[in-house]
């Protein structure tokens, strides 16, 4: 039986959701390979319960470090797998075995993180660009979550697009019971949930909201996500501009997030760059009308279940959201189509498409 290693060092993080779901559903498909999962000490117990018939091994080598380049390399050489799946681009560049790599998007290649030291981030970004290029050429196959990213990766790394396979991802309905947020119970609000990195385009969303409040003074904008340095900067800027009714909730539980989806007037996704756009699909699953940027993959993934705007045009953002808020028939259409489109994606299909890639590479 051939041996497959899946790198799950990102398990348990927001970016690690993909690998957790992939492993879970590969297990249910009864993979024909002897599977070894590499993960952190904090996720060993979780992974052992999730996939008890897979071998689960601790890998203590942090991504984008010299320890990864040397320690993980030696760990893989000791295991001697027939194939390694890296669900992110980070991997030992000297590893010579058969590899497949999932590339979620090229956002890190193109956007800076202003919360990081400029010089350090610039150096790391250059390394990231090199590893992206190298991994695309070294991998037997590259997987992406959308056709947009497939074309983008092929163009950026100069590989043949036939080497890239789209393995669509999915969203899950939140199983926790809805938990009301007291300060929002009597509010009419629109919302966004997630990180505040520059490519998420929240500054323009706030500027658009300021325009909307001129004709809708009772409306609130809710920005949900862990209070990090970027959210603190955004909040300070909002206050300096005197924009009222913008609520920064900080971290919210799954139950609170579900409640917000179920009560929001619209979920807004103003992003400049995405690989798949899971938050919008999650909002659709909970009956939230979605108003989205038309950038990158989003129209491909959301289809006719969202209304789109140019994310660089503040006035257009404001008018598009306003139209959705006042058009009852459009809102009903978006809710119905949203459920249908979100329900058309499946993690089981993701796992099956990925398993097909493994079989192709291994000649099975």
Indicate the domain borders of the chain: 3-170+346-362, 182-343
Instruction: Dump the DSSP string for 145-191.
Output: SSHHHHHHHHHHHT--GGGEEE---------SPP---GGGTT-EEEE
Instruction: Dump the DSSP string for 259-274.
Output: HHHHH-SEEEE--S--
The pLDDT-based confidence of 124 (bands split at 50, 70, 90) is confident
The pLDDT-based confidence of 112 (bands split at 50, 70, 90) is confident
The average confidence (pLDDT) of the chain is: 95
Q: Is the pLDDT of residue 113 over 80?
A: no
Give residue for tokens 């279940």. Answer: 305
pTM: 0.94
The pLDDT-based confidence of 183 (bands split at 50, 70, 90) is very high
Closest CA to 193 of 251, 114, 108: 251
Cα separation, 230 vs 195, whole angstroms: 9
Give me the pLDDT at residue 88, please.
93
Q: Is the pLDDT of residue 78 over 90?
A: yes
The domains spanning 3-170+346-362 and 182-343 adopt the same CATH topology: yes
Give me the pLDDT at residue 305, please.
98
**210-268 confidence digits (pLDDT tens):** 999 999 999 999 999 998 999 999 999 999 999 999 999 999 999 999 999 999 999 99
The pLDDT-based confidence of 332 (bands split at 50, 70, 90) is very high
Give me the pLDDT at residue 21, please.
96
Mean pLDDT across the stretch 98-110?
A: 95
N residues, the chain: 364
Q: What percent of the chain has pLDDT over 70?
A: 100
Give me the pLDDT at residue 294, please.
98
Give residue for tokens 């010579």. Answer: 96
The pLDDT-based confidence of 123 (bands split at 50, 70, 90) is confident
- Domain 3-170+346-362 sits in CATH at 3.40.50.2000
Cα separation, 58 vs 364, whole angstroms: 29
The pLDDT-based confidence of 181 (bands split at 50, 70, 90) is very high
Instruction: Select 182-343's CATH number: 3.40.50.2000, 3.40.190.10, 3.40.50.620, 3.40.718.10.
Output: 3.40.50.2000
Residue 363 exposed, middle or buried by CB count within 10 Å (0-12, 13-18, 19+): exposed
**19-68 confidence digits (pLDDT tens):** 999 999 999 998 899 999 999 999 999 999 999 999 999 999 998 888 99
Give me the pLDDT at residue 65, please.
86
Give residue for tokens 């659709």. Answer: 284
**184-215 confidence digits (pLDDT tens):** 999 999 999 999 999 999 999 999 999 999 99
Tokens encoding 228: 């990090």
Give me the pLDDT at residue 13, please.
85
Three-class SS state of 291: strand
Cα separation, 190 vs 282, whole angstroms: 15
3-state secondary structure 80-115: CCCEEEECCCCCCCCCCCCEEEECCCCHHHHCCCCC
Mean pLDDT across the stretch 136-164?
A: 97
Give me the pLDDT at residue 148, please.
97
**337-363 confidence digits (pLDDT tens):** 999 999 999 999 999 999 999 999 999
Cα separation, 164 vs 153, whole angstroms: 8
């Amino acid at each position: 039986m051939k041996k497959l290693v899946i790198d799950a060092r990102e398990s348990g993080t927001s970016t690690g959701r993909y690998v957790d779901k992939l492993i879970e559903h590969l297990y249910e498909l009864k993979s024909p390979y002897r599977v070894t999962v590499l993960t952190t000490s904090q996720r060993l117990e979780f992974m052992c319960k999730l996939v008890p018939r897979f071998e689960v091994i601790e890998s203590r080598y942090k991504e984008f470090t010299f320890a990864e380049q040397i320690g993980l390399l030696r760990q893989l050489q000791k295991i001697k797998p027939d194939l390694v799946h890296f669900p992110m681009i980070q991997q030992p560049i000297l590893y010579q075995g058969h590899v497949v790599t999932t590339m979620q998007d090229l956002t890190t290649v193109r956007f800076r993180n202003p919360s990081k030291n400029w010089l350090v981030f610039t150096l790391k970004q250059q390394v990231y660009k090199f590893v992206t290029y190298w991994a695309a050429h070294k991998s037997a196959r590259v997987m992406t979550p959308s056709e947009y990213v497939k074309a983008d990766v092929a163009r950026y790394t100069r590989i043949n697009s036939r080497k890239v396979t789209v393995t669509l991802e999915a969203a899950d309905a939140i199983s926790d019971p809805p938990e009301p947020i007291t300060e929002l119970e009597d509010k009419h609000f629109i919302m966004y949930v997630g990180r505040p990195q520059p490519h998420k385009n929240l500054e323009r969303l706030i500027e658009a909201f300021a325009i909307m409040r001129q004709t809708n003074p009772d409306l609130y904008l809710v920005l949900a996500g862990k209070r990090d340095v970027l959210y603190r900067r955004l909040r300070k800027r909002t206050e300096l501009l005197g924009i009222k009714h913008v609520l920064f909730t900080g971290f919210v539980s799954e139950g609170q997030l579900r409640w917000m989806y179920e009560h929001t007037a619209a979920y807004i996704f103003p992003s400049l760059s995405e690989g798949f756009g899971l938050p919008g699909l999650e909002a659709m699953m909970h009956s939230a009308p979605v108003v989205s940027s038309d950038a990158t993959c989003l129209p491909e993934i959301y289809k006719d279940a969202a209304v789109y705007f140019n994310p660089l045009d503040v006035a257009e953002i404001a008018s598009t959201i306003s139209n959705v808020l006042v058009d009852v028939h459009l809102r009903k259409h978006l809710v119905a189509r949203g459920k249908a489109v979100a329900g058309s994606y499946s993690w089981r299909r993701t796992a099956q498409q990925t398993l097909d890639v493994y079989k192709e590479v291994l000649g099975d």
